[in-house]
Amino acid sequence: MFPVLEAAWEGHARMPIVHWLRDPWRCRAIRLFAGLGFDRTYREEKARRKWTSKAEFARQYSKVLERNTHYISVAGLKREARAAGLRIAFTFTKDYYIAKLLSYFGVRPGRYRELEGLETLLMLALRHVASITVLLKRDAPGND
């Protein structure tokens, strides 16, 4: 389970869209969002990383995202799976999304698998705000 490129939220910086940008725009966006109150990562890691300002945080964290994260699109995942001779399915993503949505209402999912037709709709919308699950399968020899 992991976020794809389409997800609008960057979970490490805890900011929207900064993983879609490249420097110098990513650095500027991090600084802007930190100034707007999206500064939880800055506050939590300030002492350990010895940041003296949000500007310094933006410069350094932009480099952290550049070096240490790699987001792949759903289309990219499909291409990689095909190239490796694997079948890809997002079977559990629908279940994850429904369970997550129900949890906000204090409902434990029990029968959500019976809801047909939601997988495509949920994948189109929620992959922009949540993680997805990927199941890769290799066909057994002789199963053509």
What are the tens digits of pLDDT across the range 104-139? 777 776 655 555 566 666 666 666 666 777 878 887
**Arithmetic mean of pLDDT over the chain:** 83
Which candidate, 35, 77, 84, places its Cα nearest to that of 55? 35
Confidence band, pLDDT 50/70/90 cuts, at residue 9:
confident
* In the predicted structure, residue 92 carries a pLDDT above the cut 70: no
* In the predicted structure, residue 47 carries a pLDDT above the cut 70: yes
* In the predicted structure, residue 143 carries a pLDDT above the cut 60: no
Neighbours of 120 (CB within 10 A): 10
Kindly report the length of the chain. Answer: 144
CA distances from 86 to 10, 97, 127, 133, 138 (A): 28, 24, 22, 15, 5
Mean per-residue pLDDT, 20-38: 96
Structure tokens that stand for 2 in this block: 């992991």
